[in-house]
Structure 1
Amino acid sequence: MLGLDQTALLLDGLKPPAGMEIDAAVGTTFTLDLTALLAIPVAATLASGEQDGADSADLLEVVRRHADRTVLFCQAGAISVPPKYRAALTFVEQSVVEARKPPGGIFHPKIWVVRFSRAGVYSHRVLVMSRNLTFDRSWDVVVRLDEEPDAVRTMDNGGVVEFVRALPSFAARDVTEVQSNLVADLSSTLATATLAVPTPFESGSFAPLLSRRDGQPFRGTCDHALAVSPFLSEDAARSFVDTATNRAVVIARPAALDASADGVRGAHRVLRMKDAVLDAERTIDDTFDTTATDDSGSGAMLQLRGLHAKTYVQDHGDFASCWIGSANLTAGAFSTNVEMLVRLTGPVGDVGVDSLLSPSPQKNNLSWFVEEHPLPETSKDSDAEEGLSELEGHAFDVASGQVTLTLTSAGEHWDAELGITPWQLPAGVSVRARLLSLGTDQGVEVVQGSAFWPAIPLSLITPFVVLEARVGGQVRHVLVRAQLVGDPEDRRRSVIANAIASRDDFFRYLAALLGAEQGFGSAGMGEGLFTGGWIGGGSSRVLENLLVTASRNPDRLASLDQTLKQLRDRSDVAEIVPEDFHQLWDAVYAVRKGAIG
């Protein structure tokens, strides 16, 4: 466990097994980068990964298809402002659900529950981790649990089912019926899924912390204990260290160790990541200029570095129990926050404290990354990076309220009025707002929770609103997803059609829409298949794929029908869609009209 050769990428963990596709996915994160959310369906579907960042029609179709079956819960106010607005964001609008800030805490779990399908057969996967859905370059940990019908040792799913079912209750604003049904359906099938306990562990369960002052889930006593946590608080650290009757080890950031020195002083060893490791990270970042910049006017986007993993190990006799997930070793994590941990128990020789820290050359473990940290004589006043600043707290509270964007037709354009309730900012705090699709020069002052933008083009309507909170010289930018009132019917329908500017664009879109069925649209897909009056069996192949898709996934053809209707209203439709394809489509649609609505 936690060996140097056991590395993984989050996006790889979300890729479907061979021959299957994502049927439903529910995730949680504290902070969210919308670009990272867009990357999930692209990584899961487009094997080549050769996307130039442009929102092409085929990429938009892939995002649309996966977004319709994905719900992601994140802390309200913790969505970072992307460098630019992208049309693809239209399709993840209904995927994002902001969770209100629980009293005295934050919404902090990191988990994905994914259901894959093929011909009506389901398979589930659960990822429990310390990683946010961002592009942070930090050291994190993830546990991947796959469904195996014939598994000898299986997880106790009760905790994760309870957690998923509870998620809609944390939403800052009402979830849609579609979102509610997806969460309920996924939790129902997850309840009977046989998730295999990963080798070499022998048993496992989930420990959800639902802001109920649950307290630490660890054993009251153990032989040896290890805590890996970037953030600490004195009482929480002392409580964990005191469970060990023999040795306790704490690994954390230097600032956290200094701020909680009195809480970890009873530990046998106090460790930090080696300076050489952190120096190497900084050198790589400086060399390749990996720090993201934000052209939206909100300044550089904060990216985490160094230690971010959260892992707790307790040896007890011949066994050791490991807790892995989102919770830091702080009072808030185990009392007021919403968190998720997974517990795994296995032989102490394989997963115990010594197996993770033994410095012998044969051991491929954490000992390569850590070094002793000298503690100060007394705890320092605070850890500058821990917790929320006062301004961040105000921004999170605003984002946790009711946020609406009311649209009113103004000829070919739309007037947009923002409403935020309750509006209870302390004196001296001001807020400006703009739609994410608008330039920074179009930000307006929010007065008593209201702001207004006249004559917005249809293509720039978005529920994503940038809020800029200021007090004194401090500035905090947050992104919120408002509830649209009076959303134009054809707004979402027109996005893909607007991205199709040529016949090649149309072919690529069709390949993305049909490609998952019979390999249609794989490498080599191009205009040659459609030209020459459907010579060479091309029309037969397309017809076959249309009929297979109509039978297995009729909703995809509903999307194609909407796109074709948009294209037929354009003067250049003959240059984009072959006339023969219109005839073929009309025949397929007539046969399958009942199925595709």
Structure 2
Amino acid sequence: MPEREDVLNPTSRLLLSDALRPPRGYELDLGVGTTYSLNLDALLLIPFILSSGPADGDAEAHPTRMLASLRRFADRLTVFAQAGNIQAPRTYRPFHTFLEDAVVQVTATHEGRIFHPKIWALRFTAPGRQARHRLVCSSRNITTETMWDTILSCDEAASGSDVVIDAAPLVDFLRTLLTLPGADALTPGHRNQVNSLIGSLSAIGGFEVPEPFEGGRLVPLGLPGADLEAQWPIPHGERSWGVISPFLDPGTLQRLPRSGSPHILISRPDTLDRLAGTIDGLRRRPDLKVMSSWTQAADDDETSAVESREGLHAKVLAWWEHYRSHILLGSANCTSAAFGGNIEFGVELWAGLRQKHGWIPGVLGEASGLADVLEDYRPDASDVDEEEAEQQALHRQVELALAQVALACPRLRVSAVAGAAEPAFQLALEAAAAALSALDRPGWTSTVRPLSIPQEGAVQISGDVEPGWTLTEYARVTPWLVLEVDAEAGDATSHLARVVKADLVLDPGLPADREELVMRSVLSDPGRILAYLGMLIGGDETVLPEAGGALTTTHIGEGPAEATAAPIAEMLEPLLHLAHSDRAQLTRVGRDIDVLLAQSPQAPELQELRTLWDAFAPLTESAGHEGEDRHG
């Protein structure tokens, strides 16, 4: 019986929220994420998670905590996403304002290929301690979808560790991000942040090798100048292998070793059906597996050790070579695109092979933890939709057109409506015909609207139409544009709704800091104002009161302290801590106090807090512009 390898055990779950949380006593200093698909509501949760909020929380249930977490952490994050593949949220949230500078839309440099990596490179800091770094490499996009994915979290190795994963490929990867098409839209502050992270990662010894492995390497794919032919990881010859990939193609299947055993191929039923002829033509037919149907249905069994998911999304290649077992986890499907020009990222791990023929069955086969959630599958070519290829080709055309619009970065001008009885603001797309021309095609019906405008306000894209909209609330001004495309070509149809970020141009005299307007709209009563400021100052040690209630503080692991009649005094110690650990944040606290004091000038608690903060004001002068300490 092969020895079981609990490398991919579905009962041992690591949630992305757990992988991103700082070590105890630390907080996020900088983070760079990459994703193919991006959901803005899912990205809103990342700062919420970093502030120790519940992973399943949302802005509606915890608006004050959400606001504080965004003010603390949103400007420390930079997220690179495939251009034209930001999903359209169901509704607009003013909180989306805080994500505008964090998101940059990019694409691969190889023609017809995409930006597809899924990593987080993180730096955590704590007063008086050395910074710590972490790499999270996964198959999971920043979306709200719940699918079967893999996540690998590697912390910075301790000084003097004998075996580490070299961080140099990650450093090169981050440098490349700054040169990709679309990266010129990065703000100077966020570009400085990425460079700062590159600098600190260059100085570390490497990342820990997770058990039970004995070594590893980082594997970025598709970077400019890469030898694409040399990227394929599995050597030829007689060897066992196993693959998990929701997408496959004939060319890559032919590259897999044809001799040796066992060979295990895990994919989606529709993918295997489509490749039935290619699979039957292989010299040695692999064992074919799919996720059991019960793992993808509604989970009504509360006693089940394995949660159900919407579908297979994990990407894994496993093989043996020179008496060592290898596994490659990350974003790359087993396709020609993934290893032939897509930008991807993976981690290859290896260990001494204890049983030559036991590695693949122990990781992916009958002896593995996955055996409980897999079932054998026999492809049926008769189930293949003959029109599917045309559908996919049209869908790909629409995706490429949306990417073209995103990279063109349309200009959205905002101006005040002169002579209006009530405040009103005009939003107009400048040179719309040129910026949106990729979506103006025969057989296509395409519309555009700002995310804050309801669906009925969408304007059809046409060469002779200059789209424009009027808003009565300045807080709803947004650069996020919803592009919706209904395309037809023969019998094929495609419908896609995506968000692109426009270049927002404000006329002189209009407020530049729209985040402050969102802050004012959320903080509608004194209790919430103090709770918000308490969270900015005290971080995770602050307990939110009910609306209009008093502020209380607590320490992690303890219950809330009794409410105090003078909560401002309790902020002295957190302010001292903040002055020592993050003067840029201290500067922001002072600025927000002033903004909120202007809104509620008669609030005695705010006046008292402003007086207390004045004692720390000289320290903020050394911070220079906001974020200088963080940007390096």
Q: TM-score range by the shorter chain?
A: 0.7 to 0.9
Compared with structure 1, are the counterparts of its residues 118 and 3 closer, same or farther at alpha carbon in structure 2 (3 Å cutoff)?
A: same
Contact 2:242 2:360 in 1 (8 A): yes
**Matched residue pairs, number?**
570
Moved more, 458-467 or 221-230: 221-230
- Residue 261 of structure 1 and its aligned partner are, at CA, apart by 2.7
Contact 1:235 1:263 in 2 (8 A): no
Identity of matched residues, %? 27
- CA deviations 1:515-568 (Å, max 9, x no partner) are 23xx642478961669xxx98875443223223313321222322233233223
AA partner of residue 257 (structure 1): L
1:83 to 90, 93, 112: 90
Aligned with 1:200: secondary structure? coil
Contact 2:409 2:501 in 1 (8 A): no
CA distance in 1, matches of 2:10, 2:619: 56
- 1:389-408 alignment runs, 5 A limit: 389-408=396-415
Q: Which residue does the alignment assign to 1:205?
A: 217
- CA deviations 1:420-446 (Å, max 9, x no partner) are 544244323232111111211221233
Contact 1:494 1:566 in 2 (8 A): no
Moved more, 142-151 or 257-266: 257-266
1:429 to 441, 444, 460: 444
Compared with structure 1, are the counterparts of its residues 5 and 280 closer, same or farther at alpha carbon in structure 2 (3 Å cutoff)?
A: closer
- 1:103-122 alignment runs, 5 A limit: 103-119=111-127, 121-122=130-131
CA distance in 2, matches of 1:11, 1:569: 37
Compared with structure 1, are the counterparts of its residues 479 and 514 closer, same or farther at alpha carbon in structure 2 (3 Å cutoff)?
A: same
- CA deviations 1:278-327 (Å, max 9, x no partner) are 2452233999xxxxxxxxxxxxxxx9822111100111242111111111
Compared with structure 1, are the counterparts of its residues 337 and 134 closer, same or farther at alpha carbon in structure 2 (3 Å cutoff)?
A: same
CA distance in 1, matches of 2:185, 2:36: 19
- Residue 50 of structure 1 and its aligned partner are, at CA, apart by 8.1
Moved more, 486-495 or 12-21: 486-495
Asked whether 1:497 is paired with 2:520, we answer: yes
Compared with structure 1, are the counterparts of its residues 434 and 164 closer, same or farther at alpha carbon in structure 2 (3 Å cutoff)?
A: same
Moved more, 545-554 or 380-389: 380-389
Asked whether 1:248 is paired with 2:259, we answer: no
CA distance in 2, matches of 1:440, 1:577: 43
Compared with structure 1, are the counterparts of its residues 535 and 8 closer, same or farther at alpha carbon in structure 2 (3 Å cutoff)?
A: closer
- 1:304-319 alignment runs, 5 A limit: 305-319=310-324
Moved more, 306-315 or 534-543: 534-543
Q: 5+ unaligned residues in a row in structure 2: which ranges?
A: 1-6, 303-307, 554-562, 626-632
1:459 to 475, 488, 491: 475
Q: Which residue does the alignment assign to 2:252?
A: 236
1:133 to 142, 158, 180: 142
CA RMSD of aligned residues (A): 3.1
Compared with structure 1, are the counterparts of its residues 382 and 238 closer, same or farther at alpha carbon in structure 2 (3 Å cutoff)?
A: farther
- CA deviations 1:77-99 (Å, max 9, x no partner) are 11111121112211111111111
Moved more, 251-260 or 551-560: 551-560
Aligned with 2:85: secondary structure? coil
Q: Which residue does the alignment assign to 2:234?
A: 218
Q: 5+ unaligned residues in a row in structure 1: which ranges?
A: 288-302
Aligned with 2:147: secondary structure? strand
Aligned with 1:416: secondary structure? strand
- Residue 272 of structure 1 and its aligned partner are, at CA, apart by 2.5
Aligned with 2:496: secondary structure? strand
Q: Which residue does the alignment assign to 1:192?
A: 203
Q: Which residue does the alignment assign to 1:295?
A: none
CA distance in 1, matches of 2:341, 2:400: 15
Contact 2:428 2:466 in 1 (8 A): yes
Compared with structure 1, are the counterparts of its residues 379 and 501 closer, same or farther at alpha carbon in structure 2 (3 Å cutoff)?
A: closer
The TM-score, its normalising length taken from structure 2, stands at: 0.82
Asked whether 1:273 is paired with 2:285, we answer: no
CA distance in 1, matches of 2:531, 2:279: 58
Q: Which residue does the alignment assign to 2:33?
A: 27
AA partner of residue 326 (structure 2): S
Asked whether 1:372 is paired with 2:372, we answer: no
CA distance in 2, matches of 1:593, 1:206: 41
- 1:569-588 alignment runs, 5 A limit: 569-570=598-599, 572-575=600-603, 577-588=605-616
- Residue 262 of structure 1 and its aligned partner are, at CA, apart by 3.9
Compared with structure 1, are the counterparts of its residues 358 and 57 closer, same or farther at alpha carbon in structure 2 (3 Å cutoff)?
A: closer
The TM-score, its normalising length taken from structure 1, stands at: 0.87
CA distance in 2, matches of 1:483, 1:285: 47
